[in-house]
Chain A
Amino acid sequence: MRVLLFASYADALGAPSIDVALPAGGTVDDLVRAVRALPGARSVPPQPLVAVNLAYASGDRVLADGDEVALIPPVAGG
């Protein structure tokens, strides 16, 4: 599954997106665990903000093929 990265997370993982293998029925929490296992992902906290299809999603959200998933670093607009 393609995961979009931004700002400090993109810098940490060295790319604006990464592909993560996720079994069918996998959740946002499963995806975060997979990302945090990657080299460079230490700055990603255990429960980062995650967006699914442009809206914030909870950890138990089940992901489906075609979902647009993004890890959201602490926001700092304004």
Chain B
Amino acid sequence: MGMVKDPARVEAIAENIADAQAVKGRSLWQDAMGRFFHNKAAVGSVFVLAGILLFTLIGPFFAVWSNEEIDWARMANVADVGAPSIENGHFFGLDSLGRDLYSRVIQGTLTSMMVGVVGASVAVVIGTLYGAVSGFVGGWVDNVMMRTVDILIAIPYMFVIILLMVIFERSLFMLFVGIGLFSWLDMSRIVRGQTLSLKQKEFIEAARAAGVGWFVIVVRHIMPNLLGVVVVYATLLVPGMIMAESFISFLGLGVQEPNTSLGALISDGAGTIMYDQIWQLAIPLTFFLSIVISLFFIGDGLRDALDPKDR
């Protein structure tokens, strides 16, 4: 007689346990990706964005005209003959100077997306780190850091951009630098605000009590919790960068001719709506809105997916 009532059965169960596959653990990221792909709108938007990107990469192979060539024969009455047409090779029609809008939209979209991504990346990286450190450390350090941000925000950025463009010659890179210099300021304020709330929470106290260094707390505990706000704001930033670039072009300081950007195309198109040349506005605007709205849905999906408190 022993403690175990039915040794055979127990043995069978024990064998099963050993044989049974170890339960595969799911990492947080896999969790997040799973949730993301359930969000139909977000997934749809990824496809839209990917489609646009693909279009800009493949589209040039179908282009009949380059982005700078003037169609001399048609330039004089764009309103009448400049509408989109397949036969004459101007799939998107002509711009007001008689150049092919198809190639220009492709090139402009690529430029704008690059500006958006680079500007937003700079903002996210620098702004988040700066804001989180400032908010977490607090005290006079926080004060100094935030007052610096105040000062930098108040500097007339137009002036700085004029200076940059003049001193360093017009180039796309300088445009990135110029935009990047200012894009992180807002992000840092928002992140700091969120950090202030977060640092009062119990799990941070716990980490402190456990003796974790402040920088590690910031990077490993605060920043992942900021992701929600940061991601949402970053996806607002990308179109914001594109618009900032268009405003700079509007002032005459942006991308240099014959290159163009979506912002510049939209700005040009807005001037001709009175003259029945709607396609000059409608087409770049459609691309722009598609990119922007897709980014919204993606940002939203990412926030839902990454929120650690969600279920």
Q: Do A and B bind each other?
A: no
> Which B residues form the contact surface with A (CB < 8 A)?
none
